[in-house]
Amino acid sequence: MKLILVCGARPNFMKIAPLIRVIDKYNEGLPTNNSRLIDYLLVHTGQHYDYEMSQVFFQDLELPKPDIYLGVGSGTHAEQTGRVMIEFEKVLLKEKPDPVIVVGDVNSTLAAALAAVKLHISVAHVEAGLRSFDRTMPEEINRLLTDAISDYLFTPSPDADENLRREGIPEQKIFFVGNIMVDSLLNNKPKAEKSDILERLGLATSHQSPVKPYALLTLHRPSNVDDKQSLTRIIAALEQITERIPVVFPAHPRTQKKLKEFNLHLKSNVLIIPPLGYLDFLNLEMNSRFVMTDSGGMQEETTVLNIPCLTLRDTTERPITITQGTNILVWNDTSRIVEEAFNILDGRAKKGRCPELWDGKAAERIVMVIKTQSQSESESQCQPCPHQKST
């Protein structure tokens, strides 16, 4: 069996790392000449090319150096998708894998899946079935199209299964395996606890000292940062919130650019810092009083960590974080953001629980399904034709 695992942007790395860890562990127990070995190549499309948003994550997650780097860089959605397809097709023609594993919902996910399926190579989509039902989001288009052409659809939650069934996906293609982001979180939590990020930011004097209360903010979606009115409303909420608690803001380069462009200024009680690596950020997230974000992955992480989360969007493709977790949608509504933040600070935070199969074993289930299905297909191909005469 030969797999190609595709990553391209920061959210992908946390979903690829558990798969590689499980495959390597499986292969360790087999002799090198064993036909049951799972061979794989890691392809990095280069959709995120900034060091802080790519290479540092490879180090923190102990990912191997990519076998192939496509280096597509930045561009419009069409440019990125087209470049990945052109370059990835060359890899597929040379390597002839089966299947290709794509994760998440970035442009690289759709592009790699399209290139593979057009060459009649099967595609496995990890984190399938998530829907925000907002087609103005590029990620929603990527999710819909990738799921429509995939052969294995690995879902993180029961609502994702239902979405796929409504769209006519055959039941035999749908596999509820749990949330692979949680695999990375639980595996790396002990390492993240050793980070000295709190001391570096002046939020604690040592690992043993009490942590100064703070809220954590991330902001990067175009609907929030490219629209001056939306960004202004969020900043207005921060002005009120920071009167009661400081806010730490690892600022995405896109957001920093827009703040300058719109001539918007944050109060001194907002600590703006550069983007962080995975372990430092996870430590910051774990120790925060609450999180404000427009990130999909952080809605999941805060639910597992039981940290209150205010999502600065009006839709979510992860509704289970609302129905079962700690997540609340507040969009860019100034009064709503402030109201929910003050509820948390006044001891009225929403309580949540960890959803089914968010147990750190999603990657094991995925590898088992692919291995079992592949063996089953191989055995069926080896069966003699029922009409063939025996000799």
Active site residues: 220
Kind of pairing between the strands at 123-126 and 39-44 = unpaired
Query: What is the Cα–Cα distance from 230 to 375, expressed in whole angstroms?
Result: 52
User: Which tokens sit at 72?
Assistant: 């597509």
Q: How many Cα neighbours within 13 Å face the side chain of 230?
A: 18
The three-state secondary structure class of 214 is coil
A 10 A CB-CB count for 240 gives 15
**CA distance linking residue 359 with residue 355, whole number of Å:** 9
Q: Is the peptide bond before 11 cis (omega within 30 degrees of 0)?
A: no
CA–CA separation, 226 and 302 (whole Å): 26
H, E, C per residue of 352-384: CCCCCCCCCCHHHHHHHHHHHHHHHHHHHHHCC
